[in-house]
Amino acid sequence: MSDKKRLFSGIQPTGNITLGNYIGALRNFSTFQDEFDCIYCVVDLHSLTVRQNPAQLRKNTYELLALYLACGLDPAKSTLFIQSHVSEHAELAWILNTITYVGELSRMTQFKDKSSKHQDNINMGLMDYPVLMVSDILLYQTALVPIGADQKQHLELTRDIAHRFNTSYSDTFVVPEPFIPKAGARIMSLAEPTSKMSKSDENIKGFISLTDDDETIRRKLKSAVTDSGNEIVARDDKHGVTNLLTIYATLNNITMQEAEKAFVGVSYADFKMAVADIIIETIAPIRELKNEILADKGNLDKVLTDGAERARFMARKTLSKVYKKVGLIQR
């Protein structure tokens, strides 16, 4: 058994995977797999809390898997699978539902946000999906969860439920810790730089998708909101410029101070094109490799089969322990 700490991360196969997702998460995945015992999951069950087009959901799921691989994930080093292929996720979620309080779930920020956006479909899955998320994490005895600042609430719930179960039934779950990248963890919208770049943004000018072609990227950068004045510095009152500097610095692996020095006396127009150039340099190879990987569906299915088999072995060990502790007769 590996002595490495176990790390779990899951992304929904909905919307457009953005530059923000890449910088905040996907960019680090390939390096994590050398340091940690990594489990990466396409969380398709979570996506059902909002109405989906079935054919599009299946297409998005394969595309996300291909993107994982194009970003450097190695199925020989990491466990990569689809959530719905490992039924233990839903089974553990039911047990954890019995020790989760309605008040805890009703306070979840994302439940409030999604309820306001989908008032015609405020379903129980929408309220309960944080418990499924808790199950995703605890099922694999996860030590570390890479999260953005906006996901802290869900990890706090995970830790609370793990402690609650361990206290009631004796030590069963590892209580996970947050793993927050030190730089580039939060990339803002190009159109509304006070809001996070989101793959569900209805304004396509607000985000760079990892599937955007070079000309689209340049066009979006040209229209990116900057600020009054002409100084290219990171400052609290210069949200747009700070966001673009963050993107430039992170993708070039330099400090914000070094990025600022690179643009002394440079116009906003030239600054934006320099940011566009480094984004294109980063994204174009990923986009091309993803398309090559998608063309070999047989290989993708093999990756999913092998990954689900490994995940199921780990998940069943945890679930069997849980069933025994709560008093269920083993199958």
Q: Are 141 and 318 in contact (CB under 8 A)?
A: yes
114 given a catalytic annotation? yes
59 given a catalytic annotation? no
Q: Spot the catalytic one: 112, 117, 182, 196.
A: 196
CA 251 to chain centre: 18
Question: Which residue in this structure is represented by tokens 């985000």?
Answer: 207
With CA atoms as reference, report the closest residue to 208 among 130, 286, 301, 322. 286
Is residue 306 classed exposed, middle or buried when 0-12, 13-18 and 19+ CB atoms within 10 A define those classes?
middle
Q: Spot the catalytic one: 5, 77, 199, 317.
A: 199
Distances (CA, A) of 300 to 64, 75, 167: 11, 10, 41
Q: Are 82 and 308 in contact (CB under 8 A)?
A: yes
Q: Spot the catalytic one: 4, 59, 77, 114.
A: 114
199 given a catalytic annotation? yes
Beta strands in the chain (DSSP E): 6-11, 37-42, 79-82, 144-146, 177-179
Q: How far apart are CA 133 and CA 189, in angstroms?
A: 26
> Annotated catalytic sites, by residue?
114, 196, 199
